Copies of this chain bind each other. A is one copy, B any other.
């Protein structure tokens, strides 16, 4: 599987896919910069008057509901439908689903209206999106994903025909048949806002060049995990999460096939 990730990295650097992102204003700058760092090209348009045109020239669409509002939800659905029509892969980050009825409603609406190639979230978000009864504390995960959740992830993947990526202490990626577990990353990453959003942005970049959405999701998760742990190792005395955020972008910019092969902790399940 790691060889597929390596190939995906080479492809994204060679083809520089345009990744249309309708996302939140908290982490949008980091999402744009990490998309550039991996070798793709971001565009963040969200007005209803242009999202269909923008997605038509894009290689992938990322929908992130971190800071929802009624206008952008309309844009998300319009862009998602157009992407489906054109065969442009769509990646969903259901940030904070479970936290409020509005987020649950929007999540359900997106799942109903748009066919997603990949859905990436933490365990409580994915469970909430699937209708499971789980309490979410804001946009942070209350529970860590565990291998026991593999069954759930497979079930969701089969039902929705989407690759499900549940990220946490261990990450689970499945298309309903294949299952990969990734053990990269470091717990300090949860102390920087947007590491989840950035992981989704990377997945979008890979989805823009990979035929196989499972590989795209795996590449996004492995890249982010490796970047996070290397970024943490580079912290010097007196440095903290401000520096970490910058290091993560640096590590994605410098990510190489060799680093993926050496440090990727990817296991087939």
Residues of chain A whose beta carbon lies under 8 Å from any beta carbon of chain B: 18, 20, 24-30, 32-33, 36-37, 41-47, 49-50, 53-54, 57-58, 66-71, 96, 99-103, 137-140, 190-194, 234, 238-243, 245-254
Contact = CB atoms under 8 A, between A and B. Distances in A.
Q: Please tell me how many copies of the chain the complex holds.
A: 3
B29 A46 contact: no
Contacts of A99: 43, 45, 53-54, 57
A27, A44, A53: which has the most chain B beta carbons within 10 Å? A44
Contacts of A250: 238-243
A239 B253 CA distance: 8
Nearest to A191: B36
B44 A24 contact: yes
Contact of A37 (B33, B68, B242, B252): B242
Contacts of A25: 25, 28, 44
A28 B44 CA distance: 13
A57 B137 contact: yes
A236 to B, nearest CB: 10
A18 B238 contact: no
B138 A58 contact: yes
The dominant DSSP class at the A interface is mixed
Contact of A18 (B69, B138, B242): B138
Contacts of A101: 50, 53
B193 A33 contact: yes
A139 to B, nearest CB: 5
Nearest to A135: B57
A43 B96 contact: yes
Contacts of A43: 96, 99, 138-139
B140 A41 contact: yes
Contacts of A41: 137-138, 140
A53 B190 CA distance: 24
A145 B102 CA distance: 43
14 contacts: A24-B44, A25-B28, A29-B193, A36-B191, A47-B68, A47-B69, A57-B137, A58-B138, A234-B238, A239-B250, A240-B249, A240-B253, A241-B253, A242-B246
Contacts of A18: 137-138, 140
